[in-house]
Amino acid sequence: MLTDAEINRYSRQIRLFGEQGQERLKRTSVFIAGAGGLGSVIALYMAAAGFGKIRICDCDTVDLSNLNRQILHTSADVGRAKAVSAYETLTGINPEIEVVALTERITQENIDELLQGCHLIMDGMDNFSVRYLLNRAALERKIPLFHGAISGYQGQATTIIAGRTACLSCIFPRAPPPSVFPALGATCGIIGSIQVAEAIKYVTGTGRLLENRLLLWDGLSGCLDEMAFERNPACPECSQGRRLRC
């Protein structure tokens, strides 16, 4: 049940999906991979929206060069663990929710423990090696993965649901080469917000999800486009793999 304070806090979005939808958000535990540019936006809007439990994981410390886009952190946080800064910011935004912040690197060895009890996975990473781990874990646990990525003025997002959509490995069978890419805070804001909107729609059962559609944002031309795709019947992760047959 929602408290009177929660009904007041969320009153404007309750107009969209009712108190029942808000209660679903309250019962939802979410794992946010990364407290950087995307992770900051995702975490802030999920906290504000009232997702009941947020578990955010980042092994890094705040650097001055992060602050053009990583809005969980301030100049006073430079040199501090991003997870600690994230915890303080998120609990300040919404003391009604539970926040767990972990200063850990996401690996094959610890991902099961990190995801324990979580219903959703939010991709706030900047590399595909970890994204593939998140994809595999989402398939094994049969929970949705909300993917987002940015580079400069460009960004992309999609929603991956085990057994219903193509997985990340279907869409990107080969990882892009590692690189230090340009990062604009406004692009993180757009893509991270889309990811959160997708998660809210999924939990509340409203709207049409980005299933089998890769949304593409081009900030230089100010336009959105999308690319349709299908599950790859030869994908070792989702189509012929052991995980979805068992």
Q: How far apart are alpha carbons 43 and 90 in whole angstroms?
A: 7
For 210-221, the pLDDT digits (tens) are 999 999 999 999
- Sheet containing strand 29-33, strands side by side: 98-102, 53-57, 29-33, 120-123, 145-151, 154-160, 213-218, 223-228
Model-wide pTM > 0.85: yes
- Whichever domain contains 59, its CATH number is 3.40.50.720
- Please count the structural domains in the chain: 1
pLDDT at 244: 41
Per-residue pLDDT 10s for the chain (246 aa) are 999 999 999 999 999 999 999 999 999 999 999 999 999 999 999 999 999 999 999 999 999 999 999 999 999 999 999 999 999 999 999 999 999 999 999 999 999 999 999 999 999 999 999 999 999 999 999 999 999 999 999 999 999 999 999 999 999 999 888 778 899 999 999 999 999 999 999 999 999 999 999 999 999 999 999 999 999 999 999 986 444 433
Domain encompassing residue 118: 4-245
